[in-house]
Amino acid sequence: MAEIRSPLPGTFYRRPAPDQPPFKSDGDTVAPGEVIGLIEVMKSFIEVKAEVAGTITRFLAGNETPVMAGAVLAELEG
């Protein structure tokens, strides 16, 4: 099982904006380079991208959750 990890500490956002749907949800497929969320650090937003193709089995970090660098955000099944 592959994992998508936070590249840096900050707040994880699953949506591009509060009034928009999540980038991805449990059960969705992803391709390498596809955005699954954002990390906000000091008003800067960094895209979190999948490095491998697969299906998201579950998100371990919720929307607007503080995360540490290296924290697992989502699990993928290949």
Q: What is the pLDDT of residues 16-70, one digit of tens each?
A: 999 999 999 999 999 999 999 999 999 999 999 999 999 999 999 999 999 999 9
**Residue 76: its H or E element:** strand 72-77
Q: What is the pTM of this model?
A: 0.92
- Side-chain half-sphere of 77: how many Cα atoms within 13 Å? 7
Q: How far is the C-alpha of 8 from the C-alpha of 36, rounded, in Å?
A: 15
The strand pairing partners of 46, in sequence order, are 39
Please report, for the chain, the start and end positions of each structural domain, with discontinuous segments joined by +.
Answer: 2-77
List all residues 6 or more positions away from 2 whose beta carbon is below 8 Å from its beta carbon.
51, 52, 54, 75, 76, 77, 78
Q: Which CATH number fits domain 2-77: 2.40.50.100, 3.40.718.10, 3.40.30.10, 3.20.20.140?
A: 2.40.50.100
